[in-house]
Structure 1
Amino acid sequence: MKFPTLLVAFIIAASSVLSAQKKEVSLEEIWNGTFRQERLQSLQSLDNGKEYVVLNYDRQAGTTSIDVYSYKTGKKTRTLVNSADLNDIKAFQDFKFSEDESKILLSTELEPIFRRSTKEIYYVCDVNSKSLQKVSDQKIQEASFSPDATKVAYVFENNIYILDLKSGDRTQVTEDGVINSIINGVTDWVYEEEFSFVKAYAWNPSGEKIAYLKFDESEVPEFSMDLFKKDLYPSQEVFKYPKAGEANSEISLHMYDVKSKTSEEIDLGDKYDVAEEAEKVNENAVGDFYIPRIKWTQDPMILSVQVINRHQNNLDLMFIDAENNEAELILNEQDEAYVDITDNLTFLENNSFIWTSEKDGYNHIYLYDEDGELQKQITSGNWEVTDYYGYDPKADVIYYQSTENGSVNRDVYSIKPNGKNKKRLTDRNGMNSASFSADYTYFINTFTDVDTPNVYTLHRSKDGKQVREILNNKALLEKNAGYDFAPKELTTINVNGNDLNMSIIKPTDFDETKKYPMLMFQYSGPGSQSVSNSYFSSNDYWHQLLANKGYIIVTVDGRGTGFKGADFKKVTYKELGKYEVEDQIAAAKQLGERAYIDADRIGIWGWSYGGFMSSNAILKGNDIFSAAIAVAPVTSWRFYDSVYTERYMRTPQENPSGYDENSPLNHVEKLKGDYLIIHGGGDDNVHVQNTMRMVEELIQANKQFDWAIYPDRNHGIYGGNTRLHLYTMMTDFILEKL
């Protein structure tokens, strides 16, 4: 059919007007909360399985409350605690129930320490009487109820204490705690950061024993940071930080008897005698070990302990008999590269247990008896179990999340321990996650895809049938419809013999006959994922801003990233920064051959591991990349912590070439394009030392570059106007240089 020329012109003009009516996103909007998603905050199931609680904040009154809602109806049934009704607390920031839910620990005056650790003032609130009891006048760490809720244990200045709530008597469990030397009951910096926990003690189910970890970090080298603030003289923060190949804390496991008030160190056997083990390895290696998890079993006197060697490729699951403090090896898992630590261990009534492992090449669920004998591999296939939600003994069903529907997607499944009756409980392609009620009757599904911000729905666990919608973000979608946003396209690209997941954002007025500059974003760290079927993050909104200005934004998950099997992930072992960089360079080169990509204007950026990658990319791929931004980058793995780095690289003493050949510091002479490096001066994680050394190497190579230091800011580089300033700087750099 032939349209009249006038009609065609009218249609084009009308389309242009409609397009022109759409707004371009601004940096201020990205960082002032304009696009904030609605979320369910601090949702927690009550033991009855019929209700859940949510921490609500009344901004106008400045008060907080713990409100109870019905799973089935979604209606609020009652309020457990409201700070407006309490004399001593205006508001609280967090809460923990006692086991019988008769008491609640309320956290106030939170003071951050590192990424996960805080100091705070705790109060015990009686649910029925609403009476308050202050745990300590000092700010303390990791308070927790005894199983019968008659006592509270906590850590103060590296020592463990127990408060008897009835008598008010306070017992000091340990007495040798010293800042920057001996730690009891909480973790040191590297455990907190890399093993993802802070509370390093656990009441046994009967309340008779407390198992705890002791860290002797006296031989760990100290790291210091100058914090400038606004005082006349800067202050200095000094803490123990074991870099790759340096001394770790000496770790030991102890058992405290509440009645006799005595502690005993647990002998884990000759294998874990540090001095003896060190003699068996070569002089450049190390013989110490880690205890990344302790957990009481269904037997109140049996503690499970996971112990892993420093190379992190040989993991023992041990049982400790708390009556005689003897250790027994139950399960050993080994890998040529490394064994990942998870929280997926679940004990059944007879102390048989559920465990996840990558031993068949993909992460799957296994069932073992109480003696560690394999009973059944419950899941199998060329896909990964990505989350383990738990076991329902009543229905004899296991619930988990997996990538069976594609590595960029997640679905929730149920399965019997015998591997039969598997059911997919979610039916929309995208990222699905679940939060189950205490009795597994219901689960709240959080769903998102590239077109849909988070939607929260309630489902029946037995068949996945939706009961009701709890919360959606339709208001955000309606708001976003007024902006000139382009879709995030998911696809793949074949690079170096692998089909890699890729996302692309193109300008909304994209014309394939034109040429566009391209900016690549990536993280690329081991087991990570940047390409997924999910809605916009803050960086996606920034990428939309750049797309509005005529850039194509591409993200590629190369070798070493996660959720495509152990071989794909672990190919980077001992060679961080080699294969991942090769894949980014090859992908950029291949994309640059597309008619609509300007091969002379290809840039790359990333943060942390991504900053390490973008630095290497512009150096090793100097004929491909013309600009790069590195935010808080590692520039040599010799500067990073022992647990993370050695998991993937072993020690610098054992693998010097792996550390040095892929360090940007050793390739600065290759810089041709425009390079911007940015760091926070108070970064306790990836130290600003990384950027300072990179700057010095560039100066000595007489290479021009741009750089910025944000005083006192940590690894996240945020606070006040900081994020807006940072992204304004990066935007200006890209507009000028790319």
Structure 2
Amino acid sequence: MKSLFFSRIFIKLGNQILFSFRMKYVFGLLSFFLTFSSLVSAQQKEITLEEIWNGTFRQERLESLQSLNNGKEYVVLNYDRQNRTSSIDVYSYKSGEKTRTFLSSADLEGIQYFQDFEFSGNESKIILATEVESIYRRSTRGIYYVYDVKNEELQKISEEKIQEPTLSPNGEKVAYVKDNNIFIKELSSEEVVQVTNDGEKNKIINGITDWVYEEEFSFVQAYQWSKTGEKIAFLKFDETEVPEFSMDIYGQDLYPSKSTFKYPKAGEKNSIVSLYMYDVAKNEISDVELGDYSDFYIPRIKWTNDPSVLSVQVLNRHQNVLDLIFVNAQNNEARVILNETDEAYVDVTDNLTFLEDNSFVWTSEKDGYNHIYLYDKNGKLLNQVTEGPWEVTSYYGFDPKSKKIFFQSTENGSINRDVFSINTNGKNKKQLTEKIGQNSADFSADYTYFINSYTSATTPYEFTLHLAKNGKLVRNIKDNKALLKQIAEYDFSPKEFSTIEVNGAELNMWMIKPSDFDETKEYPLFMAQYSGPGSQTVSNTFYGTNDYWYQLLANKGYIIVAVDPRGTGFKGADFKKVTQKELGKYEVEDVIAVAQKLGQREYIDAENIGIWGWSYGGFMSSNALLQGNDTFSMAIAVAPVTSWRFYDSIYTERYMTTPQENPSGYDENSPINHVEKLKGDYLLVHGTGDDNVHVQNSMRMIEALVQANKQFDWAIYPDKNHGIYGGNTRLHLYTLMTDFIEDHLKANSNN
């Protein structure tokens, strides 16, 4: 940034004066600029790890943005940090002005602030979440209240902490889960009905998902009110035969305690899942027979626009056959409407949308790229709505007035995102966003407007209002120009995007060079990656916390590179699914080949190449150091999988089938089986409270390295989960990693 700034000044002034002054004045001018440049450089700040983790570079966002039913207003959750209060504030789409405050905790007796909120369907009631505590990645429990908008009355749902409260469509009742059972509370009478009675920890779960569903199918609430509120459809998980996993919790007491939960590892028994229908008026439960399935998943249930028809998605254990089933809630009769198959696996999404006549929108990769399809209410394909060598990355919805579908895609490059509209017949596609980077939309309830969230490598989040019919800018809402001004005080280098061809594939890559980069010198190379199936590390987005760390490292004399190898996402199904049954083979080959190719560049020190990653990225960095031991001299692995035999059934089997079916795929690409190849410096980090990638992975890796008599460094964070955070933990971790890099990936003396 600094050098570009001064070159622009010099060119501008030079064009004005170069031919009107004698050469001695030109040399004098050059001397002035060099002096001034050195002075400003000396005044620029050096970023610190403390700043990265203390919120110095926090971006402003629109928290919990939701459109109101009228389509003319939206609400945002605002925090008053000074007074520690929260409020739901209402804004006009048209004017941008705050029209009123729906609710403020300052006006509520007994609540200092609330952390989240949810409206009933008719917006007559609001659920407020307080005292929320995390259970696993997505699940929480807390003390919840219902606020009556008309009467301005507050009502506590339960004296005990509960999970997943949801108001009935008319707002008269609230359902929730406590102790693995479903309850319904009548708000006017405060009468509570216990719907299920067999819930028991580590045995039976009603209305919420088990651990592996939560983690891998990305949902917790496993019950839904029908559109009339007459029925509740819910899932029951019988995890009696699922093997238990136990973690020691060290805490502060004299004796540690244990956390024991059901965790199905690859090839082991899963929960037995079943579907039930509850009749609210009759207080009766009936089971739903979906068909002749065994060892299957139910990753989604959703009521259609016919209030008596529930849609259910059933997926086989290999996850390569998915049936969309319609269940008649009056007699529980089930019929298959759509069948989706894939040689590798079928992705589960939340894109299923029912139109007024119960025809529906569906997304699929069946033509090689993820696209939108339209089916009639009986599952007959009407047409493929989008097509082309690009991916639909988000489906936003359907406007019944204009008959348009709104979506986000990679049509303008796999590292970018744009928002589009298109007719259901696939015609009149219109791009609604203009700026190159990542655009995402939040539409008003009537699809008149959308709020666009935009970011790029040079632009922190900007929020703007647009007309949905043509994308025309209505007004600016919020930006982060203050953050841009703040980081201008630092000596940051631009992120340079490019592609690199290895192993017959063109891979996306970015590079950050030291701010004082000199192409005549050699620099150590430090590679960052994640590389998991369908993931993306190289994207045209503004700094995340790791990007600030990379700037810190670059200013210490390192070149930082990120690459997305084969198996990552947004470049078509073939590119993504090439790693099927071989996780860790092609991705590792690619990162090794990239490192070797970059090492041929004159400004990169091929003897000093390091790599790091977290989770799947830790699996990759470990493999790269071991299997590319002549290429990489150093690696850091945080919370890595070291053998896919240790990881959960749904994720692992999706890509690998079971260990019984594919033992070589599991073992040949697991770093735990390559420890004898270790030559370079290796740092292994894990949290003992990691319920996702268990510390067992690192302990088994440590034992294998010890028995191979290989020296390495390791760090254990007591009671920390997969994110390894809390208090000073992240600062400590990144200080540890920074010191390890500086000790083992040394910059040459000529820098």
TM-score range relative to shorter protein: over 0.9
Task: Say which of 329, 332, 349 aligns to 1:325.
Answer: 332
Task: Say which of 111, 125, 135 aligns to 2:157.
Answer: 135
1:541-620 counterparts in 2 under 5 A?
541-620=548-627
Q: Deviations over 1:66-125 (max 9, x none)?
A: 111111111111111111111222221111111110111111111211111111111111
1:33 aligns with 2:40: no
Q: Deviations over 1:327-348 (max 9, x none)?
A: 0000000000000000000001
Partner residue of 2:394? Answer: 387
Distance of 1:56 and 1:534 partners within structure 2: 25
1:658 aligns with 2:665: yes
Q: Deviations over 1:689-730 (max 9, x none)?
A: 000011000000000000000001010001000010000000
Give the stretch that moved more between structures: 454-463 or 14-23: 14-23
Partner residue of 2:492? Answer: 485
1:525 aligns with 2:541: no
1:257 aligns with 2:279: yes
Q: Deviations over 1:460-519 (max 9, x none)?
A: 100000111111100000011110000001110011111110000000111111000000
SS of residue paired to 2:164: strand
Task: Say which of 431, 437, 447 aligns to 2:444.
Answer: 437
Partner residue of 1:177? Answer: 199
Task: Say which of 224, 227, 230 aligns to 2:246.
Answer: 224
Q: Deviations over 1:543-591 (max 9, x none)?
A: 0000000000000101000000000000000000000000000000000
Q: Which amino acid aligns with 1:148?
A: N
Task: Say which of 227, 252, 258 aligns to 1:236.
Answer: 258
The TM-score with structure 1 as length reference comes to 0.97
Distance of 2:628 and 2:689 partners within structure 1: 31
Partner residue of 2:640? Answer: 633
Q: Deviations over 1:587-646 (max 9, x none)?
A: 000000000000000000000000000000000000000000000000000000000000
1:409-420 counterparts in 2 under 5 A?
409-420=416-427
Distance of 1:405 and 1:62 partners within structure 2: 43
Distance of 1:232 and 1:572 partners within structure 2: 47
Distance of 1:452 and 1:735 partners within structure 2: 30
Partner residue of 2:683? Answer: 676
Partner residue of 1:91? Answer: 113
Q: Deviations over 1:204-254 (max 9, x none)?
A: 111111100000000001111111111111111110000000000000000
Partner residue of 1:499? Answer: 506
Partner residue of 1:285? Answer: none
Q: Which amino acid aligns with 1:499?
A: E
Task: Say which of 6, 31, 37 aligns to 1:15.
Answer: 37
SS of residue paired to 2:674: helix
Q: Which amino acid aligns with 2:302?
A: K
Partner residue of 1:279? Answer: none
Q: Which amino acid aligns with 1:695?
A: I
Task: Say which of 301, 310, 313 aligns to 1:303.
Answer: 310
Distance of 2:84 and 2:437 partners within structure 1: 37
1:146 aligns with 2:168: yes
Per-residue deviation, 1:128:
1.9
Partner residue of 1:400? Answer: 407
SS of residue paired to 1:144: strand
1:197 aligns with 2:204: no
Distance of 1:33 and 1:344 partners within structure 2: 34
Q: Deviations over 1:292-334 (max 9, x none)?
A: 0000000000000000000000000000000010100000000
SS of residue paired to 2:617: helix
SS of residue paired to 1:697: helix
Q: Deviations over 1:41-79 (max 9, x none)?
A: 111110001101111112222221111111111111111
Q: Which amino acid aligns with 2:197?
A: E
Structure 1 gaps, min length 5: 275-287
Partner residue of 1:446? Answer: 453
1:246-285 counterparts in 2 under 5 A?
246-270=268-292, 272=293, 274=294
Distance of 2:55 and 2:181 partners within structure 1: 41
Q: Which amino acid aligns with 2:678?
A: L
Per-residue deviation, 1:378:
0.3
Give the stretch that moved more between structures: 229-238 or 404-413: 229-238
Distance of 1:267 and 1:6 partners within structure 2: 88
Q: Which amino acid aligns with 2:221?
A: K
Identity, % of aligned positions: 71
Per-residue deviation, 1:5:
5.8
Partner residue of 1:61? Answer: 83
Distance of 1:539 and 1:454 partners within structure 2: 17
Partner residue of 2:475? Answer: 468
Q: Which amino acid aligns with 1:244?
A: A
Partner residue of 2:630? Answer: 623
The TM-score with structure 2 as length reference comes to 0.95
Give the stretch that moved more between structures: 226-235 or 515-524: 226-235
Distance of 1:313 and 1:119 partners within structure 2: 34
Q: Which amino acid aligns with 1:404?
A: E
Distance of 1:73 and 1:634 partners within structure 2: 51
Per-residue deviation, 1:168:
1.7
Number of paired residues?
723
Q: Which amino acid aligns with 2:361?
A: I
Per-residue deviation, 1:11:
3.6
Structure 2 gaps, min length 5: 1-17, 746-751
Q: Which amino acid aligns with 1:694?
A: M
Distance of 1:611 and 1:131 partners within structure 2: 51
SS of residue paired to 2:737: helix
Per-residue deviation, 1:364:
0.2
Q: Which amino acid aligns with 1:95?
A: F
